[in-house]
Amino acid sequence: MLYPTPIAKLIESYSKLPGIGVKTATRLAFYTIGMEDEVVNEFAKNLLAAKRELSYCSICGNLTDQDPCAICQDETRDQSIILIVEDSRDVSAMENIQEYHGLYHVLHGLISPMNGIGPDDINLKTLLTRLMENEVEEVIVATNATADGEATSMYISRVLKPAGIKVTRLARGLAVGADIEYADEVTLLRAIENRTEL
């Protein structure tokens, strides 16, 4: 099907989103054309602003519009404990239950021997720097209960334990393969409370 260039390009853009095939992209593109000018302007503006104004916190790696992020800047939070997660969505999930008051570290990935992703390919170096420069007593590894989550957890434990830092892992209230991001609040809360030392 041949479309005028502007809509063909819009379809192409939508096709780049995850889980969106050409058919859906075409539907979205035509839907967009039919939207009010004002709504489309707002949409375009939000896309650009999100990309322009957001960055990763230089301390914890969390997605933020200020550096350091609000959590790292908050001195009322327990500075002696760091919870390690795979990505920023996990930080939101934890913050939602309002029971964890320590700091975070976002890895932006997991160690994956199967896929050739090693410790240097994720945001681990800054964690080691943080641990050297601050009085951290406990690190909670809150990676998902997948093979890669386990590999990452094992690695962190192996590196940190000799340094005298207590390393704990979220309890197995989370089913194997479960995503922290989608865990319900009670499950997540129980997983933190019943964390086990590695």
Instruction: Rank residues 60 and 170 by Cβ distance to Zn ion and give the closer one.
Output: 60
Sequential DSSP letters for the chain: ----HHHHHHHHHHHTSTT--HHHHHHHHHHHHHS-HHHHHHHHHHHHHHHHH-EE-TTT--EESSSS-HHHH-TTS-TTEEEEESSHHHHHHHHHHT---SEEEE-SS--BGGGTB-GGGSTTHHHHHHHHHS---EEEE---SSHHHHHHHHHHHHHHGGGT-EEEE--TTSPTT--GGG--HHHHHHHHHT-EE-
Closest approach of Zn ion to the CB of residue 68, in Å: 5
Closest approach of Zn ion to the CB of residue 67, in Å: 8
Q: Is 72 in the site for Zn ion (CB under 5 A)?
A: yes
Residue from 11, 29, 59, 140 in contact with Zn ion (CB under 5 A)? 59
Q: Is 183 in the site for Zn ion (CB under 5 A)?
A: no
Instruction: Tell me if 117 sits within 8 A of 111, measured CB to CB.
Output: yes
Interface of this chain with Zn ion, residues 19 to 58, rule: CB under 5 A:
57
Q: Is 124 in the site for Zn ion (CB under 5 A)?
A: no
Which one of the spans 13-21, 42-50, 62-70, 90-98 is the region binding Zn ion (CB under 5 A)? 62-70
Residue of 151, 198, 196, 134 whose CA lies nearest to 170: 196
Residue from 29, 69, 84, 188 in contact with Zn ion (CB under 5 A)? 69
Instruction: Rank residues 41 and 66 by Cβ distance to Zn ion and give the closer one.
Output: 66
Which one of the spans 69-77, 81-89, 123-131, 188-196 is the region binding Zn ion (CB under 5 A)? 69-77
Closest approach of Zn ion to the CB of residue 123, in Å: 11
Closest approach of Zn ion to the CB of residue 76, in Å: 15
Instruction: Rank residues 67 and 137 by Cβ distance to Zn ion and give the closer one.
Output: 67
Residues of this chain that interact with Zn ion (CB under 5 A) are 57, 59-60, 62, 68-69, 72
